Amino acid sequence: MSERRIGVYICHCGGNISDYVDVAAVRDAVKDLPDVVHAETSLFACSDGTQQDMIKMIRDQNLDGLVVASCSPKLHLFTFRGVSRRAGLNPFEYTQANIREQCSWAHTDDRAGATTKAIGLVKGAIAKTRESSALDPMAVQTTPASLVVGAGIAGLRAAIGLADLGLRVYLLERSATVGGWVGQFGPTFPNDRDGRAMVADLLEQLGERPTITLLTNAELTAKSGSFGNYEVTITVHGETESTVEATVGSIVIATGFDTYQPEIGEYGYGIDGVVTLAQFKELVEASPDGLRFADRPVRTVTYVYCVGNRQPGGNEYCSKYCCSATVHASLEVSAVDPSVHQYHLYRDIRTYGKYELLYEQSRKRGSVFMKFPDEVPPTVERTDDGRLLVTTRDTLSGNVDVTIPTDLVVLVTGMVPRENTELTKMLHLPVGADGFFNEIHPKLRPVETVVDGVMIAGTCQGPKTISESVASGLAAVAQSGAMLMKGVAELDPLVAVVDEGACTWCGECQQVCPYEAITAISVDGRDVATIDAAVCKGCGGCTSYCPSNAIDLLGATDAQMRALIENLVEVSVP
């Protein structure tokens, strides 16, 4: 390969790197390497000022390769690709060396060792860049239509937003009615807006947009094609089953959540008078003249928080909305009958954001908040004479054990992932450790998935409030619009390619491909593998599995990865 002209930036990251790595030593170790024509350090490589400096340096030095040693590529890979593009450098001849998460943060107790490792990581990145070649994004024609799966609050708002952009929209809902959980609620926090009224308003807006097709009792049963032109089959169940075939450019998944279902005996669940938060909200709405249960007046209510969430070995995540929803429900109760005694038993409590005012209002209206330790959760029992007793240890009053006679126990249950096994398999949706769908990055790409053109919105990707769900639905609208309104979209060229001369078509690559991107074609009278670049996601599974070594991965070719590994560590030979 002819000589290259590579520039290198080593980032201080405001101390995140330079506090544990001698960045000047890293620069000095690589500045005289073959093909390196410029090397410098920077306080913040991602800052606007440094980006402008990089652009100028690339142009002035006529660079054909760039290495930035900084944080994880998950954060700023696209940032520095953009810098390369604006400077006239092919963005796929840029390499990011992660010397923060993989080096400085991992070795805070060993500055010398961390510096040595950083030097190796940067040398490897330079060697990989040396073997890189210019790649061009793939241009695909897109269909100006979108499929929204799930007609809850996020799906409804997304469908309306997509239609307002001029896109054809297919909105499908698995159940017979739309609105999801919000459509079952009355007043919601923080402003007492009626959930059913909100859904009714969205339905009215839906009816005013003829480009939206709403299908209830419907499921997505098949999907083929590739980004920008997905062929989907929707099965509509009813007295007679029918199917709808459509071509869409993007798919928005807004399938919502389920609530945690306590086991019998869990915090007294199963005992008459022990209900979940959802059941309690229905009870409050059905008691406008005074709270009653089983045709008896309720004088005392005890709430037990974090039932089903924040439990080691179970659902360890916080469900976010439960505290605010429960405090809001207690305000509804006190508004109807201020004399009702209300006790809130919690591990931790946070009506986060602007909703802290609800917590203050609840306290001022007489609610008593008691914090129990994780290792001593409350117990609920019914006495022989039919009374409900809740016993808890209150850490706020010196670990005193308190027994509360109560008429009603409300188990504050949070969100759990909805069962969507077939949909997950069909669309190859990434699922996190918590069971919810995973976005690419929570800040930089919050609604995109690793499957191009398939987005997630609302509570299918994790617990959210109503406003947060709507915001994510609109984010999916913006992302779809950006891809589909132009009629043409670009895909990264980092895909697998086949050496037809080496391929013997054993079929192994086709078996391991999770995206069904590989088929066989006949070339000169023999079968060889071919890869649909628009479907391939560049996972590399086929590359490592091919027994004939006939498949390579652009952007991470065998030559690039060997060069990176060989330059990562210098091993002394005795």
Cα separation, 516 vs 509, whole angstroms? 10
Segment 71-108, tens digit of pLDDT = 999 889 999 999 999 999 999 999 999 999 999 999 99
> For residues 297 and 290, is the Cβ–Cβ distance under 8 A?
yes
Strands 551-553 and 496-498: antiparallel
- What is the reported pLDDT for 427? 93
Q: Tokens standing for 172?
A: 């499908």
Segment 378-409, tens digit of pLDDT = 999 998 888 899 999 999 999 999 999 999 99
Mean pLDDT of 531-542: 91
Segment 20-61, tens digit of pLDDT = 999 999 999 999 999 999 999 999 999 999 999 999 999 999
- What is the reported pLDDT for 2? 67
- What is the reported pLDDT for 1? 54
Strands 274-276 and 408-413: parallel
Cα separation, 385 vs 170, whole angstroms? 57
- What is the reported pLDDT for 444? 82
Cα separation, 491 vs 135, whole angstroms? 11
Cα separation, 503 vs 526, whole angstroms? 10
Segment 190-220, tens digit of pLDDT = 888 999 999 999 999 999 999 999 999 999 9
Cα separation, 149 vs 479, whole angstroms? 16
Segment 410-444, tens digit of pLDDT = 999 999 999 999 999 999 999 999 999 999 888 88
- The pTM assigned to this predicted structure is 0.83
Q: What is the CA radius of gyration of the chain?
A: 29
- What is the reported pLDDT for 304? 98
CB under 8 Å to 314, separation ≥6 — which residues? 308
- What is the reported pLDDT for 571? 58
Confidence of residue 322 (pLDDT cuts 50, 70, 90): very high
- What is the reported pLDDT for 313? 77
- Summary count for the chain: helices (H), strands (E): 14, 32
